[in-house]
Structure 1
Amino acid sequence: MNQFAILHMSDSKYCYAVNKDEIVIRLRTSKEDELDVFLLYGPKYEFQSKRYKAKMKVKYEDKLYRYYEKRIKLSDLRLAYIFEIYENGERFYFCEDGIVVDYDFENAFYNFYQMPYINENDRIKVVEWMQGAVFYQIFVDRFNMGNLKKDKSYIDMKWGDKPTPKNFAGGDIRGIIDKLDYLENLGITAIYLTPIFLSISNHKYDIIDYKKIDPMFGDIEDLKELVHKAHEKNIHIVLDAVFNHCSMNLYQFQDVIEKGKKSKYYDWFIIDGDFPEPEKGNYECFASCNYMPKLNTANLQVQEFLLDIAVYWIRECDIDGWRLDVSDEVSHDFWRQFRKAVKKEKENCVIIGENWHDAYAYLMGDQYDSIMNYAFTKACLDYLAKDKLDAKGMANKLNEILMRNNSLINSMMLNLIDSHDTFRFFTEVKCNKKKQLCALALSVFFPGAVCVYYGTEICMEGGYDPDSRRCFDWNEENWDKEFLEKFKALLKLKKFEEIRFGTVKIYEKNCLLIVERIYKNNKIRLEINMENKVINGIEPFNYRVLRKGDYNEEKSSCYNAS
C-alpha cells in the first residue's frame, strides 16, 4: 500500500456538509492499490461504543489517484470517524495518526477524524439557478447596436471589420435588449456582460466612474430595462466587477497625482515614492499597464468604496451576480467582506471569480461561489485541439479538476471553452465543426453551468485579443443553420435533471471518452470519439448522447452529431 498517496482532511473538500444533516466523506488512495475501504463512523461522544460501518465506493479516478466517497445522513450533527482498509485480506486503519495495524477505540477521541458540528452559517449554500445554467458572454461593443440615435462620433470601424485594440464598433445595452428573443430561443438562461461602466477603452476594464454606465453603452435606465425584460424570460444578468484596479483617470488617483502623499487617497494605491509617476511606473498596477493602477484592497476606505458599488447595482437594477476580474490578486479579507455584503443584499446573487488556476482557497464557502473554469478550457484544448490527451488522459484530467473542489462548488462552476481573453475555440480546432460540437457537448455534460462566448453558435473565428473580439455577424445568410440547430439541441440537454443535479462518472472505454450523469435512477451518457476511425457506430471526431430510464440500454434514445 502506498501510504504516501493516502489523504484525508476533515472539514474540507474531503469532508463537507451537503445538507443540514448530511455529509460527504472522501478518501484518496494510490491508483495502483487494489483496496476495500470502509467508513467507521458514529456520534462524536459515543464513538467508543456506538459505531456504524459503510463500504466506500470509488467515484473518481485521475492519473495518480482513486477517490473513494460515501454520503451519510446524521442524527447527531457531531460526527467522529476513521477508515478501515483491506489489502489482500489484511486489515488496516487510517486515522489522524496515519495508517495503523491496530486501533485503540477506547482512546479514539485523541486521533479520530471529526466533523465537530454542522453549523448552519458555515454550510456552503448553492445558488440554485446556477445548476444547469446556460451563460452567454457578451463583449458589449461588438454584439449589437440598438440605439441608432446616440452620438456615434466615437465609432471608428465598420461593423464586421477586424478590430484593433482601440477600435469602437458601437454595440450597446439597447442592442442586447433587442436580441433577448434571439437569446431565449438559443436556450440561454444567463447573460454575462463585460464591463459597462465609464471608461475610455472599448473593453472598459479601466473604469473611471463605477456608478455611471458608459454613454457609449447607454444609461442606468437601459440596464434596468435589460434586467427587467431578461427576468421576464427567466434570464439572469451578471456584471463584471473590476475591483483589482481602476483607470488612472479615476478621481481618487488623479487627486494623488496632484497632491502626492498629502492626498487623502494616497493609501488607496500602492506607491513607491511621494507621488505616482506613470512614466516611471512606481506604483502597483494591472500587469504592466501603468494606466490601470492597482487598488489597495487592504485599505478600509477602499473596501467601503468597492462594497458600496457592489451593493448599489444590485439594489438599483436587481442584477443577479458579479464576475470578479483578476480576482486572485485581491485580498481574501476583502472577498470575505464582499460576500457578506452581496449575499445580505440578495442571497441568490452569484459570485464568480476570474481565477485561471486551482482556486480552492477561495471556494470554501466564505468568498466565491464559482470561478471561470479555465482548467476545463485547457483540458478541452489539449483533448480536442492539440492532441495532447487521449480519451483516457482526458478522463483522468477531468476527474482531477473535479477533485479540486467539493460537489456543491462543482455544481456552480462556470465551464467555458473560450472567452474574450482567449483564442476562439473554433479557430483552435481549425474550424472543425464536429470538434466544436464535441467541446460544447462536453461543457454541457460537465457539472456546473456552461458559458458560451457570443458568436459560438454561428462559428465565429478569432485569434488572440483583439481578434477574439470581432463583431457579431447578424446576416443570417452567412450562418450554418444545421450547426445552429445542433447547437440549440445540445443546450436543451442542460435542462435535464440528470445533468443539472445528477452524480457524475467520467471514464474511458474502447478509446471513447464517456461522461455519465445519474439522477433518481435515470441516466444520460455522452460518448465522444476523437479517434480517426469509427468506434461503436460513432464517426471520427463525433459524439453520441444516450438517455435511458432504469439503465435499460434497449430503450435508449440516441442523438448523433453527424
Structure 2
Amino acid sequence: MNEYAMLHIPDSRYCFPIGEKELVIRFRMAKEDEETKVFLIYACKYNFQEKQESAVMHVGYSDRIYNYYEIKLQLEDVRLAYIFRIEQNGKVYYFSEDGITDTYNFKEGFYNFFQMPYINKNDLLPTVDWMKDAIFYQIFVDRFFMEDIKKDCSYINMKWNDKPFAKGFAGGDLKGIIRKLDYIKELGITALYLTPIFLSVSNHKYDIINYMQVDPQFGTEEDLKELVRLAHRKGIRVVLDAVFNHCSMETEQFQDVLAKGRESEYYDWFLIDGDYPDTEKINYECFASCNYMPKLNTANKQVQEFLIRIAVYWIKEYEIDGWRLDVSDEISHEFWRTFRKAVKETKPEAVIIGENWHDAYPYLMGDQYDSIMNYAFTKACLDYFARENFDAEQMAWKLNANLMRNLEQVNRMMLNLLDSHDTHRFFTEVGKNKDKLLAALALEIIFIGAACIYYGTEICLEGGYDPDSRRCFDWEERSWDAGLMEKVKELTGLRKRPEIAQGDIRVTAQGKMLLVERGIPGKKLRLLINMTEEAQTEHMEDGGFVKLLCGNRARFEAPAAVTVEQRGFAVIGMED
C-alpha cells in the first residue's frame, strides 16, 4: 500500500461544510490501491472514545495518479471527530493525524483524530444559486453591435468587418447590446459578462481613467441602467469587469502625483521608487510592462475605500449582478476579503469571479471570490479537442484533477470557458472543425459550474491571439451555419434541467469515449464524446427510461444503445 499517496487535511478542500449540518469529507489514495476499501469512522468529538459510527466511502474522482474517496455526512451534532479505516488484502489499517498505523487507540483518540470542531454558519461558503445553471455570454463591447448612430463617431477608425488592430475602434456600444437582447435571449443566455465599460482611451477599456463614468463611446449611465433593466426583465443577469489592480496614467490621482511627486496626497496610492514617477524609466509598478497602466497600491486604506466604494455604487445604483475581477491574483488577500464583505452585504447574490489562470485555492476558501474564470478547463479542452494530446481517459483524469482543487460550492460556480478576449478563438484552434466545436460546447454546458460563451462562437467566429481574437460580430445571417446555431440552442436548453442545476458530477472514460454524468435521485444526464476516428457504441445497462436529448453525429439504437460517430457527441437522459 502506497502510504506516500495518502492525504487528508481537515477544514480544507478535503473536509468542508456544504450546509449547516452537512459535511463533505475526501480522502486521497494511490490508484494502484484501487481495490482498497475505505471507511469513515466518526462520532461527536466528546463521545469518540466510547462509541463510533462507520460509513463506506466511495471513489468519487480519479486522476492520473490518485483516487479520491468521498462521502457526504448529514450530522446531528456538528462537533465531529473522525479517522479512516482502510482494508486491503484482509488486513486493517487506520489513518489519523499520526498517519497510517496498524492499530488505533480509540480511548486516546482526542490526541490524534481529525476533527471539524464546529460548523459555524458564518464560515459556510454559500452558493450563488443562479450560477449553478447559468450560461454567460462574454461581450467585447466595441465589437458586438453599434446602435447609436447619433453619438460622436469621430473615434471610429476601422470598418466593421476589418481585421482588428491594437488601437482600432469599431463603434460597438451599450445600445447595441440592448438592441440584440432578444437574440441573446433566444440563444439561451442567462447572464452577460461585459469587458470594461468605463472611461478610457483604449478600445478594451482596461486602462480606466474614471471608474464613475461610462465611456461615451459606449453610451451613458442611463444606457447602462436601461440595459440592466431590460436584461433583468428577460431573465438575464449583468456582470461587469472590475479593473482594480491598475488604472490609466490619465487618472486624476496619477496625474497629481506626476505633478507633485511625494507632496501629492495620492503618492502612496501607487508603488513608486523615487520622489516622482518617471514614465520613461518606469520607476513605478504597473500592469505587465505597460507604463500607461500604473499599479494601484491596494494595501493603502484610502485606495481600498475608493475601490470598494466603486464596486458597491454600481451594484446599488445600477443593480448589476456581480463583478469579474481583472488580474485578481496580483491583489492582496486582505483587500479581497474586505471587498467580499462589502459586496455581499450590498447584494448577497452578486457573484465575484476572479481572473486567476492557475490553481486559485487560496482565494477560493469562502472569504474572497466565489469562483474564477476556469482557464484550467480551457486548457484541458485545447489538449483534448484541438491538440489531441489527451485520449478520453487522460481527459477524464485532467478534469477530475481540476475539480479536486476546490470546494464543491466553488465548482458549482466556476466560469467554464473555451475562449475569451485574452485567448485564440477556440473555433480557430480546432482547425475550424464544427464537429469538434459542438462537442466542446456540449462538454462546457453539461459540466458542473456556469458556462461562458464568447460572443460569436455560435456563428463560428474565427481569430488568433489578441487583437485578432476581438473581431467584430458578423450580423449577416446568410453567412451563419443555421444548423450549428440550432445545435447550440438545443444544448443551452439543457441547462435548466435539474440534473445540471442540482446534480452531482462523475467524469470517466467509457471505452474510448469521454463520459460526463450529472445526476439527482431518479434522474441522470449522460454526455458521451467520441474524439476517435471510429464510431463507438455505448449500451445503457442502467435500466429505466432512456432518451437521446441532443447530439451531433450520434444515433439512438433500440433498446438502449447509442452510437457516436467520429468527432460526435450524445446527451442521454435516463430515468429510473
TM-score (norm 2): 0.95
After superposition, the C-alpha distances for 1:310-351 in whole angstroms (9 at most, x for unaligned) are 001001100001000000000000000000000000000000
Question: Once the two structures are superposed, what CA deviation does each residue of 1:165-223 show, in whole Å capped at 9, x if it has no partner?
Answer: 00000000000011111111000000000000000000000000000000000111111
Q: Is the 8 A contact 1:525 1:547 kept in 2?
A: yes
| Corresponding letter in the other structure for 2:574 | K
Q: How many residue pairs are counted as aligned between the two chains? A: 550
Cα distance in 1 for residues equivalent to 2:142 and 2:349: 28
1:205 maps to what in 2?
206
Q: Does residue 14 of the first structure (1) align with residue 24 of the second (2)?
A: no
* Distance apart, 1:50 and its partner CA: 2.5
Shift of residue 545, structure 1, vs aligned partner: 1.1
Superposed, 1:182-331 pairs within 5 Å as 182-331=183-332
Structure 2 match to 1:423: 424
1:352 paired with 2:366, answer no
Give 1:55's aligned residue. Answer: 56
1:397 aligns to 2:398 (yes or no): yes
Cα offsets for 1:245-296 (capped at 9, x unmatched)? 0000011111111111111111111111111101001110000101000001
1:480-491 maps to which residues of 2 (within 5 A)? 480-491=481-492
- Aligned 1:98-113 pairs, distance under 5 A: 98-113=99-114
Secondary structure, aligned partner of 2:393: helix
Partner of 1:476: 477
Residues of 2 paired with 1:542 and 1:163: CA distance? 33
- Partner of 2:249, secondary structure, is coil
For 2:568, the aligned partner's letter is: N
Where does structure 2 lack aligned partners over 5 or more consecutive residues? 538-562
User: Is 1:545 paired with 2:571?
Assistant: yes
Q: Corresponding residue for 2:31?
A: 31
Secondary structure class of the residue paired with 1:72: strand
Q: Report what 2:445 is aligned to.
A: 444
Q: How does 1:103-182 map to 2 (within 5 A)?
A: 103-182=104-183
Distance (Å, rounded) in 2 between the aligned partners of 1:219 and 1:100: 67
Tell me the distance in 2 between the aligned counterparts of 1:269 and 1:520: 54
User: Is residue 333 of structure 2 the alignment partner of residue 332 of structure 1?
Assistant: yes
CA distance in 2, matches of 1:84, 1:225: 59
Counterpart of 1:301 in 2: which secondary structure? helix
CA-CA distance at 1:138 after TM superposition: 0.1
**1:398-430 CA distances to partner (integer Å, 9 max, x unpaired)?**
000000001111000000000000000000001
State the 1:520 CA deviation.
2.0
3-state DSSP class of the match of 1:483? helix
- 1:191 is paired with a residue whose SS is strand
Report if aligned partners of 1:43, 1:50 keep a CA contact under 8 Å in 2: no
Q: State the AA in 2 paired with 1:87.
A: Q
What is the rounded CA distance, in whole Å, between the counterparts of 1:77 and 1:379 in structure 2? 38
- In the other structure, the counterpart of 2:558 is none
Matched letter for residue 99 of structure 2:
G
Shift in Å at residue 84 of structure 1?
Answer: 0.3
Between the aligned partners of 1:347 and 1:50, the Cα distance in structure 2 is 41
Q: How many angstroms apart in 2 are the aligned matches of 1:380 and 1:357? A: 15
C-alpha distance in 2 between matches for 1:243 and 1:220: 20
Deviations 1:12-61 (A, max 9, x none): 11111111101010000001113100000010111111211000000100
Following superposition, the deviation at residue 548 of structure 1 comes to: 1.0
Distance 1:10 1:493 in 2: 36
1:111 Cα offset (Å): 0.6
Partners of 1:215 and 1:233 in 2: CA distance: 26
1:557 corresponding residue in structure 2? none
**Cα distance between partner residues in 1 of 2:512 and 2:564:** 11
Q: Give aligned-pair identity as a percent.
A: 63
User: Match of 1:151, as an amino acid?
Assistant: D
Normalization by structure 1: what TM-score? 0.97
Distance in 1 of aligned mates of 2:418 and 2:229: 29
Cα root mean square deviation, aligned:
0.6
Instruction: Determine the C-alpha separation between the residues in 2 that align with 1:16 and 1:500.
Output: 21
Structure 1 stretches of 4+ moved >4 Å? none
Q: Residue type of the partner of 1:20?
A: E
Which amino acid in the other structure matches residue 231 of structure 1?
H
In 2, the alpha carbon distance for the partners of 1:302 and 1:510 equals 55
Structure 1 segments unaligned to the other structure (5+ residues): 551-562
